[in-house]
Amino acid sequence: MKKIALIASMALMLIACNNKETEFDATGTFEVTEVTVSAKAGGELLSFGLQEGQELTSGEVVGQIDDTQLKLKKEQLASSKAQLDANRRQLGANRNATASKQLDLEKQVAGIRQQIANARREKQRYSELLRDGAVPRKQVDDISYQISVLEKQLSATQDQIRSNNASLAQQSAGIDAQIEGINAQSAGIDVQQAQLDDQIANTVIKSPIAGSVLEKYVEQGEFVTVGKPLFKVADTRKVVLRAYVTSAQLERIKVGQTVKVMTDYGKQHGSTYSGVITWISPRSEFTPKTIVTDDERADLAYAVKITVDGNSDIKMGMYGKVKF
């Protein structure tokens, strides 16, 4: 009887072991997306009240690097641009003043021509009166002299207009060149201001993703340089189980397949979740010693990633199992 009982006990143990072996098809560890946030600007860390374990939202402001010198440079550039704008306006005013003088001369020419026309009509009328003996010749001669003076004045004014036109063309070309130079300088200042705006924006420290702060590397008041790590944040809302399967198991799985994921807290404590296969490695690798697959004798295995959403109880590095 004792022998029969021993055989039965061993059989039950074997059955239990076989059942245990079929509880999962592969094992691995849980991973999350980690981002190390580094300084994008250099300077004193004016504020940085971040705490390890703190939950952050995407884009949340967590600190400020001193931006005083950058803002002063921006004000200096704004002053330089204002001076350039004033110079541009002055050049435009000079051009307008010269054009206005030229317009006045042209108005003078029109006025002189009108006076000449009027004088010629007067001369014609007095010449007729002179033939009738109604007026003395001196009046006709005076009008002729007046016409001669007006014609000389007209000729001189026209010469001045032609001279001014040549001078105005040269002056206008010079003003255009100066304005073009000012516009180029102004455009350069715009670029520098945009660069400063970007640098000032980089002094504001933000979290690039929503997640939990894993590590904090600096403290408020420290001087940081560009590229210096500030803190590490992990997206704990999306956990990935990285497991390994044999080539024989590949035909049973595919991307998008829903599987059962189990956590192992030790001492037979754990939880079960629903997961989705999001990646299957296209190449094989030697089975890691820490990984137990369905066929432990397999020399090569394929890595797979299984995403488990919204389970904050799962921690990084925790041991997990998967059932396909």
Average pLDDT, the chain: 82
Q: How far apart are the first and last CA of the chain?
A: 42
CA separation for the pair 215, 50 (Å, rounded): 10
Please tell me the distance from the alpha carbon of residue 99 to that of residue 172, in angstroms, as a whole number.
10
2 has a pLDDT exceeding 50? no
Which amino acid, residue 146? Q
Domains (ranges, CATH) in the chain?
24-66+211-323 (2.40.30.170), 68-197 (1.10.287)
Q: Which pLDDT score is estimated for 206?
A: 96
The confidence band for 91, taking pLDDT boundaries of 50, 70 and 90, is confident
pLDDT single digits (tens) 109-155 = 888 888 888 888 888 887 877 787 777 888 878 888 888 888 888 78
Highest mean pLDDT among 150-159, 161-170, 181-190: 181-190
pLDDT at 32 over 90: no
pLDDT above 90: residue 283: no
Q: pLDDT tens digits, residue range 66-77?
A: 999 999 999 999
Residue 236 CA to residue 231 CA, distance in Å, equals 16
34, 58, 224 from 229: Cα distances, Å: 13, 18, 9
Higher pLDDT, 102 or 299: 102
Q: 159 falls in which pLDDT band (50, 70, 90)?
A: confident
Residue 14 has pLDDT above 50, yes or no: no
Question: What is the C-alpha to C-alpha distance for residues 58 and 40, in angstroms, rounded to an integer?
Answer: 17
User: How confident is residue 160, by pLDDT bands cut at 50, 70 and 90?
Assistant: confident
Question: What pLDDT, on a 0 to 100 scale, did the predictor assign at position 16?
Answer: 40
Q: Output the pLDDT for position 188.
A: 93
How large is the average pLDDT for residues 84-95? 86
Torsion angle in degrees (nearest 10) through CA of 310, 315, 320, 323: 0
Checking if the pLDDT of 245 tops 60, the result is yes
pLDDT of residue 196: 95
Q: Looking up tokens 């039965």, which residue turns up?
A: 8
User: Which pLDDT score is estimated for 10?
Assistant: 36
For residue 81, what pLDDT is reported? 92
Give the pLDDT of residue 217: 96
**Integer Cα distance of 28 and 157 in angstroms:** 100
pLDDT digits (tens, 9 = 90+) for 248-275: 888 889 999 999 998 877 666 678 888 9
CA distance 183 to 89: 12
8-state DSSP, 268: T
Decide: 55 and 170 in contact? Cβ < 8 Å.
Answer: no
Most confident of 81-85, 203-207, 238-242, 307-311: 203-207
Burial of 152 (0-12, 13-18, 19+ CB in 10 A): exposed
Q: Is residue 161 exposed (0-12), middle (13-18) or buried (19+ Cβ within 10 Å)? A: middle
| Confidence grade of residue 293 (pLDDT, cut at 50, 70, 90) | low
Q: What percent of the chain has pLDDT over 90?
A: 38
Using only C-alpha atoms, the chain has a radius of gyration, in whole angstroms, of 47
For residue 298, pLDDT beyond 60: no
- Whether pLDDT at 106 is above 50: yes
DSSP string, 291-322: --BS-TT-SEEEEEEEEEES-TT--TT-EEEE
* Pair of tokens at residue 189: 């200042």
Say whether pLDDT at 203 is over 90: yes
pLDDT at 6: 32
Consecutive H or E run containing 319? strand 319-323
Would you state the pLDDT for residue 267?
65
Percent of the chain with pLDDT over 70: 86
Check if the beta carbon of residue 229 is closer than 8 Å to that of residue 36.
yes
Q: Which of the listed ranges 19-23, 103-107, 285-289 does the model predict with the highest average pLDDT? A: 103-107
